[in-house]
Structure formats: structure tokens, C-alpha cells
């Protein structure tokens, strides 16, 4: 086995009312990109609902198979470089902690029968078990994906391309206050719906603090929740590019006559244009610039530890 492994998931939900068009090609295009970067095809797993994949086979992107493949990706990966890519539907569901907030999800092909996969599950299977010395790069090309892995450090570009670290505490408090102020104006369906979204945004910022060691956490801090002690102090080499903020959708596009996810397309275009010779922050800025020409979604970069964003991109 080489020192690198990859898991790629592309779900078009073929034949359903939720059908997408570009996710199969996204997964294949990212697989080709990784092979050009030296990944061995035998160390890459692709799950999809393409016509040639039999439902019930290990390559079918059911929730059970996705979890099994995630565990394969991380298991025994000491010192390895791992890559994860997901293209499909993303959503939000009620948080299981009883707070009334929403949590980000991805949607396996059987999500209508067996439910969506929430951010806590993704963190437990991809982040928490990651061994010391291993690194994981992840791309989520789906709606509501800003904090889908519950990583503590989130970076976002503004309209001018400047990159800023999102202040989780400040953003969470502001969103909660905005929701409370909105509800004071009356309980119309629109105000309730808008307030729910604002509270969900606040919740997503605070949940990231559960995984932050040394800053904003501790027994007396906001990190102390149902899973706070379990996650507290994690320092993981995880870097995630997401296609949009938690409150945004991610486009299923047609570009040059080919169906594709907008985030996957922009990322691959940027990597090809600069021949991979970029820093992490430059990839974020250039991907934002590529998307900004046609789409409103704002890509984000999230990390499991504080890092120098100017260091060269390496997988």
C-alpha cells in the first residue's frame, strides 16, 4: 500500500425527484486529478449510483457503505495522506442534542429510507479517529456545507478576496441575538422560519468550539456540551474546502455542455490553471474568484488545527 488513500462519493439520486446531474462526473474528475498527482487507483475507492453500479453492492453510496468506506479511509493511516470528496445533496436536520438547532448533513442515496448523515457522525468517523501523523484533505460540494465536519477554524473570503478567520463566539452571539430580535416582532411563519435559520447558524458556530483545544473551550467554556469533553483538545491535520456557507446552497451546474458541481469544477479549474503551485489561501481565493463570476455561493476553508495558510498545497 502506498502512503496515500482516497474516498470519492458522487450521488445523482437517479430516477428520484431529488435527481442531480453532475455528481458522477465530479467524482470521476476528482479521481483523475488525484491519479495525476500520483495516487494509485488501487488505493482509491469510488462510491456512486451510476447505472453500472448494482444497488446493494459495496460501491453503492448507501449510508452503511459510506460509513464503512470512511472507516476504511482512516483506519491504519498513520503517516498517510488521505483525500475525501463528496458531491451530492446536503441538508440540515434537527440537532440530536435536543437544543432545537439544526445541524448540517450529507444525503446518502438511501436517505429517504434511512435518514441523512449529520455533521457529528462525519466528525466521529473522519476526524476523531485520524491518527497522529496522518493528514486529511476534504472537499464537500453540497448545500449547507460550511461546518459539515465541525472543524474549529473556519476561513472565508470577502468580496475583495481578503481572507478572514471567522470568530465563532462573536458570530454565534450575533446570530442568536438577531434571531431573538426577529422573534420580538411577532410570530408570523416567515419570522419563525428566518429565526430558525439564524439560530441554526449560531448553533453551527458554537459546535465548532467543541473541537477547539486551548482557545474558547475548557470545562467552563462554550465547548462543554454533550460531546464537548470527548472532542475537547483534538488537534487533527484536517483541511476542508466547502462549496458554500451553512446558509447557502451549492449549484448543480452545466459548464461547457457538461454537468458538474460548481465547487468541484472551480477547484479543478484552479488546480489546472496554476498547475497545483498554490498555497491553501490562494486556492480559496482563486476558487472564490472563479465561482464569483457566475454564482453567489461563498466557498470556505476549515481546519482542525491552526495552520499557516500560506504554505504550499500538498496532498
Query: 109-158, pLDDT tens digit by residue?
Result: 999 999 999 999 999 999 999 998 999 999 999 987 777 898 888 887 77
CB half-sphere exposure, 172, CA atoms < 13 A: 15
Domain-wise residue ranges, the chain: 4-167+208-303
Backbone angles phi, psi at 47, to 5 degrees: -110, 130
**Which segment of 12-21, 130-139, 214-223 scores lowest on mean pLDDT?**
214-223
**Which segment of 6-20, 27-41, 97-111, 194-208 scores lowest on mean pLDDT?**
194-208
Alpha carbons 306 and 315: distance in angstroms, whole number: 18
Average pLDDT over residues 291-307: 87
pLDDT at 215 over 70: no
Domain covering 4-167+208-303 assigned CATH 3.40.50.1820 in the classification:
no
List CB contacts of 62: < 8 A, sequence separation 6 or more: 108, 109, 110, 114
pLDDT at 275 over 80: yes
Average pLDDT over residues 6-30: 95
Which pLDDT score, from 0 to 100, does residue 214 have?
40
Which pLDDT score, from 0 to 100, does residue 221 have?
28
pLDDT at 190 over 70: no
pLDDT at 269 over 70: yes
Q: Are 200 and 102 in contact (CB under 8 A)?
A: yes
Task: Judge whether 24 counts as a catalytic residue.
Answer: no
pLDDT grade for 229, boundaries at 50, 70 and 90: very low
Share of the chain above pLDDT 70, in %: 70
Instruction: Say which residue, 217 or 92, is predicted with more confidence.
Output: 92
Q: Are 222 and 206 in contact (CB under 8 A)?
A: yes
Task: Judge whether 143 counts as a catalytic residue.
Answer: yes
Which pLDDT score, from 0 to 100, does residue 28 have?
96
Q: Are 150 and 121 in contact (CB under 8 A)?
A: no
Share of the chain above pLDDT 90, in %: 50
**Which segment of 109-113, 188-192, 231-235 scores lowest on mean pLDDT?**
188-192
Q: Which of 85, 89, 137, 144 is catalytic?
A: 89
Instruction: DSSP letter for 221, please.
Output: S
Q: Which of 23, 107, 142, 143 is catalytic?
A: 143
Q: What is the 3-state secondary structure (H, E, C) of 166-219?
A: CCHHHHHHHHHHHHHHHHCCCCCHHHHHHHHHHHHHHHHHHHHHHHCCCCCCCC
Which pLDDT score, from 0 to 100, does residue 33 have?
96
Q: What is the pTM of this model?
A: 0.80
Alpha carbons 78 and 46: distance in angstroms, whole number: 22
Q: Quote the mean pLDDT of the chain.
A: 79
Amino acid at each position: 500500500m502506498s502512503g496515500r488513500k482516497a474516498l470519492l462519493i458522487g450521488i445523482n439520486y437517479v430516477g428520484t425527484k431529488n435527481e442531480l446531474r453532475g455528481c458522477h462526473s465530479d467524482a470521476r474528475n476528482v479521481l483523475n486529478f488525484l491519479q495525476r498527482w500520483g495516487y494509485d487507483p488501487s488505493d482509491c475507492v469510488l462510491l456512486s449510483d451510476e447505472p453500472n453500479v448494482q444497488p446493494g453492492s459495496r460501491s453503492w453510496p448507501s449510508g452503511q457503505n459510506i460509513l464503512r468506506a470512511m472507516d476504511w479511509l482512516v483506519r491504519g493511516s498513520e503517516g498517510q495522506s488521505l483525500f475525501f470528496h463528496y458531491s451530492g445533496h446536503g441538508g440540515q436536520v434537527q440537532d440530536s442534542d435536543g437544543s432545537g438547532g439544526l445541524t448540517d448533513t450529507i444525503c446518502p442515496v438511501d436517505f429517504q429510507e434511512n435518514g441523512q448523515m449529520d455533521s457529528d457522525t462525519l466528525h466521529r468517523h473522519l476526524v476523531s479517529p485520524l491518527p497522529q501523523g496522518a493528514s486529511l484533505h476534504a472537499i464537500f460540494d453540497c448545500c449547507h456545507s460550511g461546518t459539515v465536519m465541525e472543524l474549529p477554524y473556519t476561513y472565508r473570503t470577502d468580496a475583495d478576496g481578503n481572507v478572514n478567520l471567522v470568530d465563532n463566539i462573536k458570530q454565534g452571539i450575533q446570530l442568536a441575538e438577531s434571531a431573538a430580535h426577529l422573534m420580538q416582532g411577532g410570530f408570523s411563519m416567515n419570522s419563525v422560519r428566518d429565526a430558525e435559520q439564524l439560530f441554526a447558524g449560531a448553533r453551527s458556530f458554537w459546535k465548532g468550539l467543541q473541537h477547539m483545544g486551548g482557545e474558547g473551550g475548557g470545562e467552563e467554556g462554550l465547548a462543554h456540551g454533550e460531546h464537548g469533553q470527548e472532542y475537547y483538545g483534538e488537534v487533527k491535520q484536517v483541511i476542508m474546502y466547502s462549496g458554500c456557507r451553512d446558509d447557502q446552497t451549492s449549484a448543480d451546474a452545466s459548464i461547457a455542455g457538461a454537468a458538474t458541481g460548481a465547487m468541484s469544477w472551480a477547484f479543478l479549474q484552479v488546480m489546472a490553471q496554476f498547475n497545483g503551485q498554490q498555497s491553501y489561501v490562494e486556492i480559496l481565493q482563486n476558487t472564490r474568484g472563479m465561482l464569483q463570476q457566475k454564482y453567489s455561493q461563498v466557498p470556505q476553508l476549515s481546519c482542525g488545527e491552526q495552520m499557516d495558510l500560506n504554505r504550499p498545497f500538498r496532498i
